[in-house]
């Protein structure tokens, strides 16, 4: 089965299971979204949503956040892991947003990725979920699924993103990104399925017998 055929079947399956795709990270503005996505690195969305209410109660805009001591930010975000780096990044990017962007989250990849702690995946989520621009954020989880489903041979998330954008229509990227995340969590987890149990894996590879090992992202 060629990739375009797999893509059609995957879209059909995901649309039936997830007709609606609520944004997993709770936020009230694009600054809160940016901070939440930054905190989600190597952390669950559930944990981020438990932590951010305490952080945003103190400051939910760059103007307020830049005045919060780093140690205060650190103590709040510590449950999310990588707290030293994340707390410093939150403080620095808040100051940069005030100084260079009039306190607004920039609406383009170049400026977003220039901010401390903001990589391409984080910028893609903000562009997609915050501003509604077509983007296909790829993390290690989507990278793993794309390999299991035979949609990429990429050894890293950058190549996987390129491959997925070629396969799926641009108008579906924003929704599809979330659908794949939801599906991976529920049916094709990292330490189960292994490419041979869930409906999508069986659909793409009905004759597969051996577990799939994911190439490092």
Q: So which residues are the catalytic ones? A: 121, 139
Q: What is the dihedral of CA 113, 36, 86, 121, to 10 degrees?
A: -30
Of 167, 110, 174, give the one whose Cα is nearest residue 137. Answer: 174
Q: Is 35 exposed, middle or buried (0-12, 13-18, 19+ CB in 10 A)?
A: buried
CA-CA distance, 87 to 94, in Å (whole number)? Answer: 11
For residue 169, what are the contacts with CB-CB under 8 A and spacing of at least 6? none
Contact by Cβ (8 Å): 188, 200:
yes
Helix (H) or strand (E) holding 13: helix 3-17
Of 116, 110, 73, give the one whose Cα is nearest residue 97. Answer: 116
């Amino acid at each position: 089965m060629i990739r375009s055929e797999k893509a059609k079947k995957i879209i059909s399956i995901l649309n039936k299971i997830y007709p609606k795709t609520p944004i997993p990270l709770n936020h009230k503005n694009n600054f809160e979204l940016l901070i939440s996505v930054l905190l989600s690195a190597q952390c669950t969305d559930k944990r981020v949503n438990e932590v951010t209410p305490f952080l945003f109660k103190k400051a939910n805009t760059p103007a307020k956040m830049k005045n919060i001591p780093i140690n205060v930010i650190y103590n709040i975000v510590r449950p999310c892991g990588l707290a030293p780096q994340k707390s410093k990044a939150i403080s620095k990017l808040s100051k940069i947003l005030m100084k260079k962007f009039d306190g607004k989250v920039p609406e383009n990849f170049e400026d977003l990725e220039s901010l401390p702690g903001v990589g391409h995946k984080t910028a893609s989520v903000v562009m997609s979920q915050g501003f509604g621009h077509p983007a296909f954020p790829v993390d290690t989880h989507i990278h793993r699924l794309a390999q299991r489903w035979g949609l990429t041979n990429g050894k890293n998330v950058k190549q996987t993103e390129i491959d997925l954008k070629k396969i799926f229509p641009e108008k579906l990227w924003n929704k599809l990104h979330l659908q794949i995340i939801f599906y991976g969590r529920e049916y094709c987890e990292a330490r189960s399925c292994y490419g041979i149990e869930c409906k999508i894996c069986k659909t793409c590879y009905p004759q597969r017998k051996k577990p799939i090992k994911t190439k490092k992202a």
